[in-house]
Amino acid sequence: MTSASELLDTIELDTAPNPTHAVIWMHGLGADGNDFAPIVPHLSWPGAPAIRFVFPHAQVRPVTINGGMPMRAWYDIFQMAAGVREDSAGIHASARQIEALIARENARGIPAANIVLAGFSQGCAMTLHTGLRHPETLAGLIALSGYLPLADTLAAERSPANQTTPIFMAHGTQDPIVIPARAETARRILDSLGYQIEWRTYPMPHSVCPQEIADIAVFLKTVMSAQ
């Protein structure tokens, strides 16, 4: 396993030369960075800036809920339910790795204000955890089919820099993996803390659908045009 100080392996797709904006997109449990790369052509619009899409591969680690089987995961999962013990150390270690990817984009000339964090399922959890604690203002957060990890510590640890950062949250109404109630709980917590949430549901299981992808493109256009 790589240490938290080393950069994760990534897939990078630039929509045009010399990107001025970036989207760092975290995959779900057991997947890898290839999972969402195919939707990049659908996330464009007339006059869009040059965007670098970064799809990191999480480390391989044993996952308790899957019998200890090693797979790519941002952190261990002990049970798929709200209110159970969470892998705080794993979440924080992966957050540092995502922060390192943000810092690399900064070093390549893309400021935090032009960076969107996105994620699906476990990657959604990491997007919310990392983005809301990031010390510089980000362009937006895209939280798909996931939940809010370490929710009890968010109020104390959150960064004022991202208090008004737009958040796109979406979930499938037929999701049997991360049940809709968990996403609704996350939404209520974020609402109570004053975050700006665009909430969408779709008639789908634990997946994405064409309408959702189209809505993500509109969200990206909105937050990237606001810079």
Q: Which residues are catalytic?
A: 121, 175, 206
Of 55, 57, 47, 74, nearest to 220 by C-alpha is 47
Residue type, 98: I
The 3-class secondary structure across 81-126, one letter per residue, is: CCCCCCCHHHHHHHHHHHHHHHHHHHHCCCCHHHEEEEEECHHHHH
Question: With contact defined as beta carbons under 8 Å apart, do 126 and 37 qualify?
Answer: no
The residue with tokens 């189209």 is 214
Would you say how long the chain is, in residues?
Answer: 227
The residue with tokens 């950069």 is 7
Please name the residue ranges forming H helices in the chain.
Answer: 88-107, 122-133, 151-157, 180-192, 210-225
